[in-house]
Amino acid sequence: MCLVDRIDAETHAHATEDYDKVMSTLINLLGPGVAKLIEASSLRGHYNNPIKVFRVELRLKGCGNDDVVRGIAARLSDEDKRLIELSLDSRVSGNKLYLRFDKQRLYLNELMLSSGDDVVKVIIHLNPVKLRGSSIIGVLREMGVDHWLASSMGILTGDLLMSHAARLVCV
């Protein structure tokens, strides 16, 4: 059974940005196959400035979304993995894991978490059936992204890990 139902990614471009370069950030993150899936919409900013929003929704056949998430996890630095560990409570809601990546770094094909405004927003929708009676930590481990939860720094160990996992159980 696949662990990831869907992956949503979104970013935006202001009039001063090259739209092709901004779209390439989604391709660099999710792979070349997403180029034809990117949808663009136009908005107006607060001062009536044009803004282009680029979105992609991945629902790959088989367990392809699982592979995409594993690929993202493999490219994350140890520092970013530790940041995810520490902020997991604020990144999870129901069966969704929320991540934000630096758009400028993604253009250079580098993966780095960001809390700024110039980002690519990603929502990983985990399979709710797989989560039933399990924790999101368990599902992430099963996906092979247990480095996100590894306790090499002693951050989440023993009873602390168990209490953290208990708070994230989705029924």
What is the number of H-type helices and E-type strands within the chain?
8, 8
Considering the domain boundaries, does residue 26 fall inside one?
yes
Considering the domain boundaries, does residue 104 fall inside one?
yes
Considering the domain boundaries, does residue 119 fall inside one?
yes
What domain count does the chain have? 1
Task: Residue 28: give its domain's CATH number.
Answer: 3.30.1440.10
Distance, first Cα to last Cα, the chain? 18
Q: Side chain identity at 126, as an amino acid letter?
A: L
**Torsion angle of alpha carbons 65, 103, 12, 46, nearest 10°?**
140
Considering the domain boundaries, does residue 29 fall inside one?
yes
pTM of the model: 0.81
Considering the domain boundaries, does residue 10 fall inside one?
yes
3-state secondary structure of 131: helix
Pair 63, 56: CB distance under 8 Å: no
Considering the domain boundaries, does residue 162 fall inside one?
no
- The one-digit pLDDT tens for each residue of the chain (171 residues) are 888 999 999 999 999 999 999 999 999 999 999 999 999 999 999 999 999 999 999 999 889 999 999 899 889 998 998 888 788 889 988 889 999 999 999 999 999 999 999 999 999 998 888 777 777 777 766 665 555 554 333 333 333 333 333 333 332
Pair 44, 51: CB distance under 8 Å: yes
Considering the domain boundaries, does residue 170 fall inside one?
no
Q: Residue 26 belongs to what domain range?
A: 4-127
